[in-house]
Structure 1
Amino acid sequence: MLDEVWNGLPAVHVAEILGSWKGTCLDTGHRGLRALQNINWYGHTFHSPHNAQPLVRRDPDGTLYSDEDLMFGEASLWMAMFRGQLTATMIYDGEPVLTHFKKVDDRTLLAIMNGKPVALDNGRHLYYVLDRAPRQGNDAGYATPAGN
């Protein structure tokens, strides 16, 4: 069913998705759902095509920060072909993982994680929704939690 929804959505360009996004995983049984819940994943922030933060998390005090260690770096945004359509794609720096985005509306994206070995779970992709996050003060970066 999600594959059909994905196929019916329009592609999105990198310039359209710059900014901060709050993510919500869709429960398809993919093991990544539990992993993201366990680390208090908040979403993504795309400062520019070459400065993308794929793992924005909340620390115990509620402060948002980019966890560069968990996926061995951050990411960049490119236009890439996926299922026959050129669309904005996040390519992780340290893992063979790509996340492709499609436009649901002006404030919402559908994302599908692709790659190996983390992205696929018994041949299933991780799907999630991104909602444009409200601007909060200094959108240029996040605090680093104590100990990191």
Structure 2
Amino acid sequence: MVAIDSAATAAAELALLQQSGATPEQAWALFDGLPAARTDEVTLGRWQGEELDTGHPFAGVLVASGWYGKQFDGPEQVHPLLFADSTGAVFPVDPRRVPLTLTDKVPLAGVRLINKALPVLGIALRTRKYTARLRDIEYRGAVSVAMVYDHLPIIDHFRRVDEHTLLGIMDMRDLAEPYFFVLRR
């Protein structure tokens, strides 16, 4: 593992990978080279999500579905999935109501149709309850903040790119490779 020497270098490397696409090996190299971010160092509030395309089966699906990001209101108060409907309204979704196991089986055109129906479907998906927690967890040789889903076998692990950007991976049971994503504040 080679540590990245500055936030500016890390941000530039991430931007290049997002622009050109990345292999899983390139994404892992960036993730492993980034500094840890502890739970008490992560800025609270709403974070907007972006994809880091590594050719993962989920590539393009979350973005096409209306995924907005995540919201950290405290270590015990996390909304792991925020969606935005076509009107721009952002709302938390209960992850148990999202069929993640079908994510790589529905064509993007079908996902876009679902997104257009979010103003109506969103009523069934919404929640006011927090459905995840933040914990400092050792992963790939570093103790860093992770988001643990309350009811699903998913842990999102984060590393710091800069003070406003986190690189995350979704580690889900039975998923061969994790899904890489970016959060920006």
Q: Which residue of 2 aligns with 1:8?
A: 33
Identity of aligned residues (%): 35
> What is the CA-CA distance between 1:32 and the residue it aligns to?
2.2
Q: Which residue of 1 aligns with 2:139?
A: 82
Q: Which residue of 2 aligns with 1:144?
A: none
**Which residues of structure 2 form unaligned runs of 5+?**
1-25, 101-124
Kept after mapping to 1: 8 A contact 2:51/2:60: no
Relative to the length of structure 2, the TM-score reads: 0.65
Structure 1 stretches of 4+ with a deviation exceeding 6 A read none
1:3 partner amino acid? W
1:80 partner amino acid? I
> What is the CA-CA distance between 1:6 and the residue it aligns to?
0.9
Report the structure number with the largest CA radius of gyration: 2
Kept after mapping to 1: 8 A contact 2:50/2:63: no
**Structure richer in strand, relative to its length:** 1
2:120 is equivalent to residue 95 of structure 1: no
Give the alignment partner of residue 62 of structure 1, picking from 70, 88, 92: 88
> What is the CA-CA distance between 1:74 and the residue it aligns to?
1.8
**Which residues of structure 1 form unaligned runs of 5+?**
133-148
1:42 partner amino acid? Y
**Structure richer in helix, relative to its length:** 2
Relative to the length of structure 1, the TM-score reads: 0.80
How many residues in Structure 1 have an aligned counterpart in Structure 2? 128
Q: CA deviation digits over 1:46-105, x for unaligned, max 9?
A: 001111111100022110000113279721110111011110000011110000000000
Indicate the RMSD between aligned Cα atoms, in angstroms.
1.7
> CA–CA distance in 1 between the matches of 2:92 and 2:177?
26
> CA–CA distance in 1 between the matches of 2:53 and 2:159?
18
> CA–CA distance in 1 between the matches of 2:64 and 2:30?
27
Q: Which residue of 1 aligns with 2:119?
A: none
